[in-house]
């Protein structure tokens, strides 16, 4: 059954799904949309809620990154079978998204002076608040959200990488348990080779291409 993931040619909500698909050795069409070509109104109006990522299988379309991540991870060790552990992962992932909701308005801010101020606040308040808690959560649970690697840690990595791309830093470095997890996922079979083949994302280049439109 042909599988197709459509997302921007950048890190963000779609990248953890790419990582999971590669780690679980699933063949899929990696359909990448250049941010510089967005909004592609013809594509946008066909999307269930006008946004990416979307996943297609057998002519059926699924949107919402978390639903897609869980769907593609089904039947693997990445979904905890114990209900409490399952809920622990979900709980951590919702907190990761709460963090991300603080970052997106900063990325989208058009006024450069205001954006600089917001970036400062992100570093001093938001990142420290959330990352110290993510770090503790991982430390208390054997390095993962629920005792072993799950789809949830892939989501954390995708969000960290997307933030790093915009901030031009590696925010995880100050947090040993997060840093170790990031390194572990990037070294997983399938993920490691994918990252090498993909190459690094370059936010400045992406911005330059977007501004040309």
Ligand X SMILES: N[C@@H](CCC(=O)N[C@@H](CS)C(=O)NCC(=O)O)C(=O)O
Of 161, 23, 13, nearest to 93 (Cα)?
13
How many angstroms separate the CA atoms of 96 and 157, rounded?
A: 10
**Binding-site member from 2, 4, 29, 51 for ligand X (CB under 6 A):** 51
The backbone torsions φ and ψ at residue 189, rounded to the nearest 5 degrees and listed phi first, read -60, 135
For residue 142, the SS3 value is: coil
| 171: contact with ligand X by CB under 6 A | no
Instruction: Give the nearer residue to ligand X in terms of CB position, either 66 or 92.
Output: 66
How many angstroms separate the CA atoms of 165 and 8, rounded?
A: 14
**Binding-site member from 5, 6, 11, 12 for ligand X (CB under 6 A):** 12
Q: How far apart are the first and last CA of the chain?
A: 37
Smallest gap from Cβ 39 to ligand X, in A, equals 5
DSSP lists the bridge partners of residue 29 as 4
Name the one range near ligand X by CB under 6 A: 58-66, 118-126, 164-172, 194-202: 58-66
Instruction: Give the nearer residue to ligand X in terms of CB position, either 38 or 86.
Output: 38
Residues 100-159 that bind ligand X (CB under 6 A): none
How many other CB atoms sit within 10 Å of the CB of residue 90? 18
Q: How many Cα atoms within 13 Å fall on the side-chain side of residue 13?
A: 20
| 52: contact with ligand X by CB under 6 A | yes
Name the one range near ligand X by CB under 6 A: 60-68, 108-116, 166-174, 200-208: 60-68
Q: Binding-site residue total for ligand X (CB under 6 A)?
A: 10
**Binding-site member from 64, 95, 102, 115 for ligand X (CB under 6 A):** 64
Q: Report the residue number whose CB is nearest to ligand X.
A: 51
| 11: contact with ligand X by CB under 6 A | no
Transcribe 2-58 into DSSP letters.
-EEEEEESSSSTTHHHHHHHHHTT---EEEEE-GGG---HHHHTTSTTS-S-EEEET
Instruction: Give the nearer residue to ligand X in terms of CB position, either 66 or 177.
Output: 66
**Binding-site member from 65, 126, 146, 164 for ligand X (CB under 6 A):** 65
Give the footprint of ligand X on this chain (CB under 6 A).
Answer: 12-13, 39, 50-53, 64-66
């Amino acid at each position: 059954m042909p599988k197709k993931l459509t997302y921007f040619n950048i890190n963000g909500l779609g990248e953890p799904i790419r990582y999971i698909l590669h780690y679980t050795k699933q063949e899929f069409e990696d359909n990448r949309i250049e941010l510089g070509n967005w909004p592609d109104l013809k594509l946008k109006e066909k999307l269930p809620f006008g946004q990416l990522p979307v996943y297609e299988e057998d002519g059926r379309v699924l949107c919402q990154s978390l639903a897609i991540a869980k769907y593609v991870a089904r039947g693997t060790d990445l979904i905890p079978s114990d209900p409490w552990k399952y809920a622990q992962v979900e709980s951590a992932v919702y907190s990761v998204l709460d963090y991300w909701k603080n970052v997106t308005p900063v990325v989208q801010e058009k006024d450069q002076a205001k954006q600089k101020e917001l970036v400062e606040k992100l570093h001093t308040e938001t990142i420290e608040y959330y990352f110290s808690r993510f770090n503790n959560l991982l430390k208390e649970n054997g390095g993962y959200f629920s005792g072993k690697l799950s789809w949830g840690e892939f989501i954390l990595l995708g969000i960290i990488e997307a933030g790093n791309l915009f901030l031009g830093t590696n925010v995880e470095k100050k947090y040993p348990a997060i840093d170790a997890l990031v390194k572990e996922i990037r070294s997983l079979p399938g993920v490691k080779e994918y990252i090498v083949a993909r190459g690094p994302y370059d936010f400045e280049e992406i911005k330059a291409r977007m501004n040309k439109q």
